[in-house]
Each structure stands twice: as C-alpha cells, then as structure tokens.
Amino acid sequence: MLTSKKIRAAIIGASGYSGAELLRLLSTRDDVEITRVVAGTSAGKKVAELYPVFAGTVDLQYEEFRAEKSENADIAFVALPSGESMKVVPGLLASVGRVIDLGGDFRLLSPELYTQYYKHEHVAQHLLSEAVYGLPELNSQAIADAKLIANPGCYPTSVILALLPALKSGLIKTEHIVVNSLSGVSGAGRSASVELSFTEVNENIKAYKIGNHQHIPEIQTVLEKASGSTISLSFVPHLVPITRGIYTTIHASLDAAVTEAEIRHLYEAFYREAPFVRIRKEIPQIKDVARTNFCDIGMTLLTPTKQIVLTSVIDNLVKGAAGQAVQNMNIMFGLKQTKGLL
C-alpha cells in the first residue's frame, strides 16, 4: 500500500553489521524516518560512537528493548542472533504490525527441524505458518500482504537464486547437486572470537559446519517447494579472508540437451522482472556486487560431462541481509523494489 507520509522504522539489533547496514540504507531516504535503534550492550551510546561513519548524519542513541516503545513505528527490522528474534517478534507484531526478521527464527516451517539445526527450542511456533519467506524473486505477491517476513539467509540467497530457474524448468537433475560457498568474515557477525581474529583468518581459507550448517534445511525446503521435486544437495560453506561477499559455485548434471546460449536465455527470461538479478556472460566476481543489492549469476556448460557450473555472487550484508530486507519493505509499502537501493 502506498503511503504519502514517511515510513517510520525501528531497528532492533542495530549495533551489529546487518543493523548498521540497515542504518546506511535507510538514513539517506527522505521517505523513511528511523524512530528507534535498539542494542542491549550498547544502550546509552550514540550511533556515531560505535560507527564514526555516521557522525553528522545519524543523531540517534541506542536504547534497550521494550516492545511497547515501538508503537510509533510502521515497521520493525529485527537483526538479532538466532534464538533471540523469536522472543521479541510476537510483542513487536502486536505493537507495530509489520516485522522483518533478518535472523533464522522464522525461515523453517518445522520446529523440529529448527531445533535440530539451530540448537534452540522454538518459543513462537504459532507464528511459523504466518511468516512469509522474503525472497522477492520468488514470493513478491505474498510479501506485499505479509505482516511477518522471514528474511532469507545470505548463503541460501546466493544458492536459491542460482538454482531456481534450472530446477523449475527441469534443466538439471535433482540429485547430486554440489554447492560450495565462500563467505567474508562479516557473515559471522560482530561478536569477537579468536577464530575470527585477523591472525587466524588472514592468509587462510577453511571449510566449516560440513553437513550440519543451519542454512542447509532452508536451501533444501525452499527449492523443493518451488520446484515440486525432492532434491539431493550437498552444501559446504567456507570462510575466506575478505570482509564482505559470498561466492557460490554449483555443479549439477543436465537433464536436457541444451546450449549455453539457451540456458542463458532461460535465466534471462526467468529473471526479466527481477531488478536485482543480473545474468552475466563472463564469470562473476565479488567486487562487482560489493555494497550493492545485486546478485550476479554466471553459467558454464561442460559439454563432455553433460554438466553445468553455476556461479553466483552477492554482498552478504546487502542482498544477503539488510538490502534484501529493505527490498521487502519497499514491496510491503507498495514502492518500487529498487527505491533506495540503486
């Protein structure tokens, strides 16, 4: 629904990287007023104390969380760790009415699956069926009417966007799909830890959470629902010594005799109405999407083996988090998806 007044937005968890990215994207918009920024451990500090880049442009102070204090907001963004969002979202829905959760608490329909992968009991199970999966390229109509958006994970965004056209068209076989994703360090959040320190990360690459990463069921369930097929997929994430960005490489077997040009045409047609997906003739690279809301997808046909290699790149803090959340907000308020994101 279009609004003639400013959209009043509250950011819960505003001191983390995704929260700061939301501030960056929203603070320059003349149609948005940021009413509150909440951050428990930084409550009482000015935003510019934590992030000097906002000095002179954002004159806000971090507050402690109280759901009733968000009543003067039209929408609340929740950028809290998994297990924390579900504690505050019910109260926010009652006081605000529209909530976009950037965490993982409402992405899975099954509370058992959530507990298995996120290692928490779900305390707001009654909202799981109400949450709309916020991938605009897949669910834009449902997003427009939603009260609660489950913003997709960064890894799933890069994987799902790359695979959707191929799976929905029957281009590739649904078994033995191999996914490798490389992420910058900001994907782990702002909390300090030895394994994420400069000395440990610099000049190093390592795989982690092989077979039990929390994004595996998200990728699997979304792709199976969208394609209507059971999918056999392996996913291995890697940490690489860059600040931001995700690079995903996917190997799949073709289920049809096609040329690379035909595959590219299929992808271009599929994403014709998707302003933030770009199909590239060359192999995409992270620097082409850094600090943008774009997802660039490339493809290479391996003719002798009848396989295809798909590559996709996103900025994990923008299209993988805050930018996608703003894109969802735009849809919810009847605005162009691109507003404030180009």
Q: What is the pLDDT of residues 207-232, one digit of tens each?
A: 999 999 999 999 999 999 999 999 99
CB atoms within 10 A of CB 116: 13
pLDDT at residue 49, rounded to an integer: 95
Residue ranges and CATH numbers for the domains of the chain are 7-130 (3.40.50.720), 155-315 (3.30.360.10)
13: exposed, middle or buried (Cβ count in 10 Å: 0-12, 13-18, 19+): buried
Residues in Cβ contact with 263 at an 8 Å cutoff, skipping those fewer than 6 apart: 166, 171, 299, 301, 308
pLDDT at residue 38, rounded to an integer: 95
Mean predicted lDDT score pLDDT of the chain: 94
Query: Cα 252–255–258 angle (5° rounding)?
Result: 95
Q: Which residue has the tokens 């083996």?
A: 305
pLDDT at residue 59, rounded to an integer: 93
Confidence check: pLDDT of 1 > 50: no
Listed residue (123, 85, 126) closest to 105, CA to CA? 85
Residue 314: strand, helix, or coil: strand
Residues in Cβ contact with 119 at an 8 Å cutoff, skipping those fewer than 6 apart: none
CB atoms within 10 A of CB 141: 10
Name the pairing type of β-strands 132-133 and 246-253: unpaired
pLDDT band at 189 (very low <50, low <70, confident <90, very high): confident
pLDDT at residue 165, rounded to an integer: 97
Catalytic residue among 80, 138, 154, 317: 154
Confidence check: pLDDT of 122 > 70: yes
> From CA 92, how far away is CA 66, in angstroms rounded?
9
pLDDT band at 3 (very low <50, low <70, confident <90, very high): very low
pLDDT at residue 67, rounded to an integer: 73
Ramachandran sector of residue 68 (left: φ over 0; alpha: ψ -120 to 50; beta: rest) = alpha
pLDDT at residue 194, rounded to an integer: 78
Asked if residues 166 and 220 have their Cβ atoms less than 8 Å apart, the reply is: no
Confidence check: pLDDT of 190 > 80: no
pLDDT at residue 193, rounded to an integer: 77
Query: What's the sign of the alpha-carbon dihedral 186, 187, 193, 199?
Result: negative
Q: 125-174, pLDDT tens digit by residue?
A: 999 999 999 999 999 999 999 999 999 999 999 999 999 999 999 999 99
Catalytic site includes residue 295:
no
Give the CA distances from residue 171 to residues 165, 223, 266, 298, 337, in Å, rounded to whole numbers and listed in that order: 8, 14, 10, 15, 29
| Burial annotation 222-236 (CB, 10 A radius, 16+ → b, else e) | bbeebbeeebebebe
pLDDT band at 2 (very low <50, low <70, confident <90, very high): very low
Q: 61-79, pLDDT tens digit by residue?
A: 999 988 777 778 999 999 9
